[in-house]
Chain A
Amino acid sequence: MSKGVSRRNFLKAGALAAASLAMPNFLARSGVSLTALAAETPPDFNSSLDVYRKHWTWDKTVRGTHMINCWYQAHCAFDVYVKDGIVFREEQAAEYKQLRPELPDMNPRGCQKGCSFSHRMYETNRIKHPMRRAGGRGSGKWEQVSWDDALNDIADKFIDTIIKEGTDRVIWDLGPDINIGAANAAQARLAQLTHSICLDSNSSNGDGHRGAFETFGNVYMERSLEDYFYSDVIIIWGANPIFTSIPNAHFFTEARYNGTDIVCISPDYSASATKADLWVPVKPGTDAALALAICWQIIDGGHVNESFVSEQSDLPILIRADTGKFLTGKDLDGGLDSTFYTAGSDGKLREVDRKSLELEGYKADLEASLTVKLADGKEVPVRTVYTLLKERLSVYTPEAVSEMCGTAPKLIRRLAKMVINAKALSNVSGSSMNKYFHGNLTERAMILIWVLLGQMGRPGSGYSAFGFLANDGWEDYVSGLRIKDRITFGTEIGLDLMWDWMKGETSESFFKKLSTSQFTDPGGNLPIWTSSALFWHVHGGVSELAEQADKWVPDLKKPVKEALHESLEKKWLPLQPPMGKHPRILFHYCSNPLRSVRGSQKLTEVLWPKLSLSVAIDFRMSSTAKQADYVLPAAAWYEVTDHKWVTPLVPYNHVTNKAVEPLGESKPDFWIFTMLAKHIEERAKSRGLDVVESHMGKEIRLANLYQDMTMDGRFGEDDLDSAAGAILEQSSNLSHVSWEEQKETGFVRYNSLGLSPLSIGNAGDLKNDEPFIPLTHHIDGKQPYPTQTRRIQFYLDHPLYLDHDEHLPRFKAPPSIGGDYPLIMTGGHTRWSVHSVWRDNALMQRLNRGQPYIVMGQEDAGTRSIADGDWVRCFNDVGEFIVRAKVITGAQPGQTIMYHSWENYQFAGSGDARSVSPSPINPVELAGDHAHLKIGMLEGQPGCFDRDTRIEIEKLSAEDSARLRQG
């Protein structure tokens, strides 16, 4: 009997009768039963110090990484330490081989975010059970449900929707964390088997590198990190790698041991600017003017690399003076409109070779100006792209440009001199420029510097745009590894491939074509994609926010909405489901659109009411999950075995191993998709359904869905490991090391770019012992580029570009998006977040202010009586949000910085940083029906912009501030 506590009615009658040990969380370490353990003599215990006497040992360590979109800094191999089924810590593996004795090595790769994942995965907003909404959407009322209940209900709604309204009403909203590994392959396979639609998020992320796409027909071009050591001058432009590329940044700074100069061009004195030898401040959004000033210095000073531009670019190609279009074979003799011409110094025309860049001694006249007789007898003057460019650039003198961009003429000249004299010139790429409305013009102007100087394809030299490197077995897996799947793939795609090769097309062009076809009518059992930017604008109602765009953007030829509808009607850009057909089911996977989409306040207002079902698959409660109908708990990255894409910067496939069991009832994504297929099959059978027709007329075999999904049982819901291995075994660029070995080492170097449409554009030889240099297949191998002219192309004769005077690079001042307000709201990633997955991580929050803030310069803060830490209201014509002010000395007057990734619920009040960014579509980005301005995977889609958002900021009243402080 115990003393003091009296026996109130604690226990139910009868509870004592069944008094036994019940311990669902424990077992006896010695292997005996718990009852037997309880009966043993207990160990001595004098104080809690006794529990510390035993030497601490780990049960195991495995190799792991983080399946997040670290993009340019992806990825890093870690040792993950496990005790009692819990991940306690991770440590950088640091075993990357040094390529050459003179080059810095990759070790140790990692960042503080990755180093805190063991903490992150156990934080309190981890989702451990399937949950169903128990109140209105976003009411915060949820109930835990079983997996069976959740999947049955979702399966029923899935079937109802595709039967009643079509398979294109089911949308897979895929975010940038998709891994091109087994998890994402399962999702894609389910999408292709049901002909439902996958969203390509790159466009709405604003990461499209539209300027590179317009110029190269391709955005994928990136070097490996070691190559920076051979650069003479590295320009950090549109990026802030000290924040966003933590494991990579030492390569840039270490290059200085080699005498390399680092230049940072940025409006603010950014973290990267502090590490530069030369900081060039520029007003936000005016970088194109600065780039064109350098170009003019190159041309005017006679520094153009004529042989390079004649061979590699469209600069010698002839343009008709009357139409502003390329002179074509069709014009001259009724031939092909894909035949273009240059002229020699003798005035003779020569066809541009579409199969090779090799000039074989021919010298085109870069400044040819002549009159040609057309097939209809008309005589028209023609001039080269170079001549037109030269005329256009002549206004970009340092003095004139200084007025546009705020950079001193002397500094512009100094920068131009450095660039011109560099033996090897490179850039550090980021995706900042794409987030300006005229970011495409800026990127074209930047690329022009490198091309005019012929600074490409050599060690340490070249322009980097968008990095991506992936296995090429993924598509194989998604389309199916059975004989019948192979036959479909072979007949629908393989024959096309052979035909293209017979016509002399490059494999790059073929896989680009394949990438485009996935947005229209994919053959070979591939999934159907649609541009997320278009989707959110049209179906999500975001375009409604931009109805005033004509007031904000000075030279629009027609209202943005009209231009958008025209492009969709002309089918320049495909959209699924088409305008007027409402999406009904949204699966959010690796995605968080209510946080990330500019103008996302429209989505819950316009799109959500149309949805019969919204399902978030995540391991944590994101802003989007909070508005979903179901939240399905996904396993965290140390709880699964899979692999992840990278970029050529770090050309190593990275593997994460299952270190521990998924927490609670959470399940690997692979399991979730496979089990959803199983439930759809079961529910279809119970309803007597066998086959339904997709919106494109394909047979959807509902009654065989699980069988097809698992490829006749080969890859069941618990076979994630073998599915991940099968993808690599199918890969031409990763099958040289066994899956078991890759799991053990955690990383393995790619042995080639492979054939994935996401990698092939890098167009270079990836070797085991050399830094990777992109585009050498073009520059050394003379393979043509996948553009209209088969050359690096600065002239775009598409009507939209001609109408907007953007047929050649030029500077356009940043528009006043959001209204006529004095401050420009720039942005970027911080070193503690990069994406929202880290934003509410307690450890990362401790390292910075831990709540949303807007950065402003001392002067702008002073004129508004704002002090550091004050609560402020930021507003414009479309919305507002409330944050704290962070006052710094390093911002330009008129510039504010709203670093991104804060979850909506981290803001005080109802608005968030996206509320003020209407992000109107830039009409030229709606172009289509063109040889290379057409949609493709992660490219050729309209972008989303927030960097030229105009706002005003005012200090909140003392009462409101006090209320928020308490809140």
Chain B
Amino acid sequence: MVSNEPITVLERSICYRGLAEAYRSPAGGVGILDESWIPPPSENAKSEFLEAFAPAVSTTACALYQSAHSNREQTSLYEELIRWYDHFGLQRKAKAELPDHVSVELEFMHFLTYREHVSAGDEHALTTLRRAEKEFLTKHLHPFSVSILGHSETFANRYKYLCLEHELFVRLHLQDFGEI
């Protein structure tokens, strides 16, 4: 069932959270993401997930780190991302994923959009946040998502759809901004 109602900011934020979780573990995000959007994990999900996203074990896998998809030096990318997170008051936890992991970037978008949700009515805050979202998606998450999608041809169903829908979701979000 597809509804034509526009997505709310909070819904978008929860979608980002669900996508972040889906990239974190084989069955991540199942409590959040609708199965008609992202297929549920199969009984082989544990190995399918590694086959899709662990270059250490599979030559056809796609790395989920932006630095592996970019010509930039790893540390300069880390620095920029940490600066982004820091600018919005966030600090990486000691046992966290690396700052350029797709789940971390999605989590950051979850935070920005959540903040947008709670800032409803504060036009200055909303403009600031939307500008940041647009810039972050343009510079980081969207090109990264496109690159991930380019590797997904051979992935098991759930992960192929995850890459496809994630890219589409990010692209549509970008289109949503228009001129800020």
Q: Do A and B come from one complex?
A: yes
Q: A3-B6, A125-B56 are in contact. Are A10 and B11 (CB under 8 A)?
A: yes
Binds B, one of A38-46, A546-554, A602-610: A38-46
Contact B55 A124 (CB under 8 A): yes
Contact B37 A620 (CB under 8 A): no
In-complex Cβ contact of B79 among A29, A50, A56 (8 A)? A56
Closest to B126 in A: A42
Min CB gap A645→B, angstroms: 29
Does chain B have a CB within 8 A of A863?
A: no
Per-position binary interface string of chain A over residues 63-89, scored 1 when its CB falls under 8 Å from any chain B CB and 0 otherwise: 000000000000000000001111011
Does chain B have a CB within 8 A of A26?
A: yes
Binds B, one of A15-23, A228-236, A589-597, A952-960: A15-23
Contact A38 B34 (CB under 8 A): no
Question: Cα distance A50–B135 when bound, in Å?
Answer: 11
Does chain B have a CB within 8 A of A119?
A: yes
Min CB gap A105→B, angstroms: 30
Measured between beta carbons, the chain A residues less than 8 angstroms from B59 are: 140, 905
Within 8 A of A (CB), among B9-45: 9-15, 17-18, 21, 24-26, 31-37, 44
Per-position binary interface string of chain A over residues 489-530, scored 1 when its CB falls under 8 Å from any chain B CB and 0 otherwise: 000000000000000000000000000000000000000000
Question: Cα distance A40–B54 when bound, in Å?
Answer: 38
Within 8 A of B (CB), among A618-674: 620-621, 626, 660-661, 663-664
Within 8 A of A (CB), among B133-180: 135-136, 139, 169, 172-173, 175-176, 178
Question: Cα distance A39–B136 when bound, in Å?
Answer: 20
Q: A12-B33, A44-B128, A143-B50 are in contact. Are A26 and B57 (CB under 8 A)?
A: no
Per-position binary interface string of chain B over residues 51-75, scored 1 when its CB falls under 8 Å from any chain A CB and 0 otherwise: 1001111110001010110000011
Range for the number of chain B residues in contact with chain A: 35 or more
Does chain B have a CB within 8 A of A865?
A: no
Contact B128 A42 (CB under 8 A): yes
Contact B139 A48 (CB under 8 A): yes
Min CB gap B110→A, angstroms: 7
Does chain B have a CB within 8 A of A7?
A: yes
Measured between beta carbons, the chain A residues less than 8 angstroms from B136 are: 48
Question: Cα distance A34–B132 when bound, in Å?
Answer: 18
Measured between beta carbons, the chain B residues less than 8 angstroms from A257 are: none
| A contacts with B, residue count (CB < 8 A) | 72
Closest to B17 in A: A22
Measured between beta carbons, the chain B residues less than 8 angstroms from A2 are: 6-9, 12, 176
Contact B6 A4 (CB under 8 A): yes
Q: A5-B6, A48-B135 are in contact. Are A15 and B32 (CB under 8 A)?
A: yes
Binds B, one of A127-135, A300-308, A580-588: A127-135
Contact A26 B85 (CB under 8 A): yes
In-complex Cβ contact of B98 among A7, A47, A122 (8 A)? A122
Measured between beta carbons, the chain A residues less than 8 angstroms from B135 are: 45, 47-48
Q: A1-B8, A5-B6, A25-B92 are in contact. Are A16 and B14 (CB under 8 A)?
A: yes
Q: A10-B15, A40-B89, A88-B78 are in contact. Are A24 and B34 (CB under 8 A)?
A: no
In-complex Cβ contact of A25 among B1, B58, B103, B119 (8 A)? B103
CB within 8 Å: A-B pair count: 241
Question: Cα distance A183–B63 when bound, in Å?
Answer: 30
In-complex Cβ contact of B18 among A11, A86, A661 (8 A)? A11
Measured between beta carbons, the chain B residues less than 8 angstroms from A38 are: 111, 114-115, 118
Measured between beta carbons, the chain A residues less than 8 angstroms from B115 are: 38, 42
Closest to A133 in B: B47
Measured between beta carbons, the chain A residues less than 8 angstroms from B47 are: 134-135, 141-143
Contact B128 A23 (CB under 8 A): no
Min CB gap A283→B, angstroms: 40
Does chain B have a CB within 8 A of A910?
A: no
Contact A10 B75 (CB under 8 A): no
Closest to B75 in A: A88
Question: Cα distance A89–B55 when bound, in Å?
Answer: 24
Q: A4-B172, A85-B96 are in contact. Are A15 and B18 (CB under 8 A)?
A: yes
Closest to B47 in A: A134
Question: Cα distance A131–B54 when bound, in Å?
Answer: 11
In-complex Cβ contact of A10 among B34, B94, B97, B108 (8 A)? B34
Contact B87 A142 (CB under 8 A): no
**A residues engaging B (CB < 8 A)?**
1-12, 15-16, 19, 21-30, 34, 37-48, 50-52, 54, 56, 83-86, 88-89, 118-119, 122, 124-127, 131, 134-135, 140-144, 620-621, 626, 660-661, 663-664, 905
Q: List 15 A-B contacts (CB under 8 A).
A: A1-B6, A1-B9, A2-B176, A5-B7, A5-B176, A12-B35, A15-B14, A26-B92, A42-B119, A43-B87, A43-B89, A85-B93, A124-B55, A140-B59, A144-B50
**B residues engaging A (CB < 8 A)?**
1-15, 17-18, 21, 24-26, 31-37, 44, 46-47, 49-51, 54-59, 63, 65, 67-68, 74-75, 78-80, 82-99, 103-104, 107-108, 110-111, 114-115, 118-119, 122, 125, 128-129, 131-132, 135-136, 139, 169, 172-173, 175-176, 178
Interface pairs A-B: 9 shortest CB-CB: A143-B46, A25-B96, A621-B56, A51-B83, A124-B63, A134-B47, A125-B56, A29-B91, A84-B92
